Copies of this chain bind each other. A is one copy, B any other.
């Protein structure tokens, strides 16, 4: 199978791509620059693709940033701290982001005669991000396949997996987690306090190993777990 992977440079999409690649599928990667403040993840995506020798394109979507409104990921809005599933994390929602990225990925999949597009939504995303839920995966796959001559599958391998289970899979697959980036704040060192940092630190803890990247605050997550 030939798969166009949406690779953010974070741990979920990197793990999904490693697993797909390690099983012998032909993988290419797209990383979207939509003006996110944590653009550091783009460099991480590049490093990961170099490791696997996977063709990689950074897709410049900066032309849409100003259309997206006031998400904490793209505008001058403070990144919330705390647990990933908290109500205040809705400030990090970028409207319709996954349809835009999957829409472009599907167009590219058709152009290069690939069979599928993949994105790494996981169970922990469901609470806050409606476009990371199974219903959305089905709906967008239907829309892609009604709207084109070619059949393109939409694969979301971690839709029923927790972040901890993703770490466990990644360790088996040899994922270089030291090359991945999750923090929403986009500073030089991960903050340890935003939703994605606390979720990541908890996941590594529950998987029984230490997260290999550096944090400004490696203990804060323990105060917000449920």
Contact = CB atoms under 8 A, between A and B. Distances in A.
A136 B130 contact: no
Chain A interface residue number, banded: 35 or more
Given A67-B111, A130-B146, A143-B142, A96 B100 contact: no
Contacts of A100: 100, 103-104, 107
Contact of A61 (B63, B108, B110, B111): B63
B103 A107 contact: no
A123 interface: no
B99 A106 contact: yes
Given A61-B63, A63-B59, A142-B139, A108 B147 contact: no
A212 interface: no
A131 interface: yes
Contacts of A57: 67
Contacts of A94: 107
Contacts of A30: 67
A186 interface: no
Given A69-B107, A95-B111, A139-B143, 15 more contacts: A61-B61, A67-B104, A67-B111, A68-B108, A70-B111, A96-B110, A96-B148, A99-B144, A99-B147, A100-B104, A130-B146, A131-B147, A140-B147, A142-B142, A143-B143
A100 B107 CA distance: 9
Q: How many copies does the complex hold?
A: 2
Interface string A114-145: 00000000000000001101011001101110
A64 B58 CA distance: 10
Contact of A144 (B33, B96, B144): B96
A107 B59 contact: no
B143 A99 contact: yes
A107 B131 CA distance: 12
A126 to B, nearest CB: 12
Interface string A15-40: 00000000000000010010000000
B69 A59 contact: no
A104 B107 CA distance: 15
Contacts of A160: none
